[in-house]
C-alpha cells in the first residue's frame, strides 16, 4: 500500500493522541486498528511495512495508515514518535495521498499541532480534533519536492506572504528555485493564469475584502495591496472589480 484516500470536509473524531516510545523491548512491532486511522510524525530512522509495502522512516516523515491495515514497524533502537488515532466521518472531495511522505520544513509546525492535540485529549476533545484536522489538511496538501506543484506552491507562498511587496517575476522565480521562463510555463499550466495576473487578482481580492469588511482608509488599503498610487488603485478597481473603491465600500454587507 503506497497511497490512501481521505476526505476532510468534516473534522476527525480523535480517539487518542500521544507520544509513543518503541524499540526498547524489541526491534519489531505490529499494529492493526480495525476502526481507526493512524497518523504518525517520526523523529527517528526505521522501516514501516503497510500491507506488504515497505516505506523508509526518517526524522520529519509523516505517515497515514487507514483502518484495518496491518502495519509492521522495524526499529533500530529506541524510537519516539507523535501519533493520533482517529475516525474520519468523510464528506467532501476525496484526496489521494502517500502513506509515507517527508514533511520537510512543515515538520516542526506539525509537531507543535500534534503536541497540542496530545495535551487536549483528556479535557478538551474538540481542541484535539481541531489540531489533528489541521495536521491532516497540511499533510494532504504537502507538495512533492521538486514537482511542478511544489514550484508553483512556493511561488504562491512568496506572493501571499506580502501582497504589498513590489514583486517581479524573476524575483519570485528565484524564491521558488527555478528560472523566470520555467516558472511562467508552470504557472500557466497549473493555474491557467500568468504570474502577474495571479498577483493582480489576489491583490484586488484582498482590496475588495478590506473595502467591504473593514473601516481602514482607502489610501491605507491601496498601500496594503501594493498599489499605493490612488489613481492607479482607482483604475485597478474599475478594471478588475467594476466600480470605484468608494462605490465598492458603499455596497458592503450590513
Task: Please tell me whether residues 99 and 205 are part of one structural domain.
Answer: no
- Distance, in Å, from the CA atom of 132 to the CA atom of 125, rounded to the nearest integer, reads 11
Distances (CA, A) of 81 to 7, 29, 42, 44: 24, 14, 5, 8
Question: Closest Cα partner for 1 from 80, 71, 61, 58?
Answer: 71
Choose the final residue of a domain: 177, 192, 207: 192
pLDDT score of 169 more than 70: yes
Q: Which residue has the higher pLDDT, 219 or 143?
A: 219
Closest to 195 measured CA to CA, from 160, 246, 229, 145: 160
Domain of 211: which CATH number?
1.10.10.60
135 and 22 in one domain?
A: yes
The residue-averaged pLDDT of 67-89 equals: 95
| Domain total in the chain | 3
DSSP, collapsed to helix, strand or coil, labels residue 253 as coil
pLDDT at 252 over 70: no
- The pLDDT of 212-232, averaged and rounded, is 94
Q: How far is CA 157 from CA 54, 152, 153, 172, in A?
A: 33, 9, 6, 10
Shared domain for 97 and 188, answered yes or no, is: no
Domain around 227:
197-250
Q: Cell triple for residue 168?
A: 517581479
DSSP H or E stretch at residue 2: none
Please tell me the pTM assigned to this model.
0.72
Shared-domain flag, residues 153 and 84: no
What is the percent of the chain where pLDDT is above 70?
96
130-156 confidence digits (pLDDT tens): 999 999 999 988 876 556 677 888 888
Whether residue 74 is found in the same domain as residue 131: yes
What pLDDT, on the 0 to 100 scale, is given for residue 254? 45
pLDDT in tens, 5-23: 999 999 999 999 999 999 9
Tell me the mean pLDDT in the region 57-63.
96
Tally of CA atoms within 13 A in the half-sphere of 183 that contains its CB: 24
Amino acid at each position: 500500500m503506497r497511497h490512501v484516500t481521505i476526505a476532510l470536509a468534516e473534522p476527525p473524531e480523535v480517539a487518542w493522541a500521544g507520544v509513543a516510545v518503541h524499540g526498547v523491548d524489541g526491534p519489531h512491532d505490529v499494529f492493526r486498528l480495525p476502526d481507526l486511522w493512524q497518523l504518525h510524525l517520526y523523529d527517528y530512522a526505521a522501516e514501516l511495512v503497510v500491507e506488504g509495502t515497505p516505506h523508509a522512516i526518517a526524522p520529519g516523515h509523516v505517515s497515514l495508515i487507514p483502518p484495518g491495515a496491518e502495519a509492521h514497524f522495524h526499529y533500530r533502537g529506541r524510537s519516539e514518535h507523535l501519533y493520533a488515532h482517529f475516525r474520519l466521518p468523510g464528506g467532501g472531495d476525496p484526496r489521494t495521498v502517500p502513506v509515507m511522505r517527508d514533511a520537510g520544513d512543515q515538520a516542526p509546525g506539525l509537531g507543535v499541532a500534534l503536541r497540542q492535540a496530545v495535551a487536549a485529549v483528556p479535557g478538551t476533545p474538540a481542541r484535539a480534533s481541531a489540531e489533528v484536522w489541521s495536521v491532516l489538511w497540511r499533510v494532504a496538501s504537502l507538495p512533492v519536492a521538486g514537482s511542478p506543484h511544489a514550484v508553483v506552491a512556493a511561488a504562491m507562498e512568496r506572493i501571499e506572504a506580502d501582497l504589498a511587496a513590489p514583486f517581479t517575476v524573476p524575483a519570485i522565480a528565484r524564491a521558488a528555485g527555478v528560472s523566470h521562463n520555467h516558472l511562467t510555463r508552470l504557472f500557466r499550466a497549473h493555474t491557467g493564469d500568468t504570474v502577474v495576473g495571479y498577483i493582480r487578482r489576489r491583490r484586488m481580492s484582498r482590496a475588495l475584502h478590506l473595502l467591504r469588511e473593514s473601516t481602514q482608509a482607502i489610501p491605507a488599503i491601496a498601500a496594503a495591496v501594493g498599489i499605493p498610487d490612488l489613481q492607479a488603485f482607482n483604475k485597478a478597481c474599475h478594471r478588475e472589480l467594476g466600480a470605484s473603491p468608494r462605490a465598492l465600500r458603499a455596497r458592503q454587507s450590513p
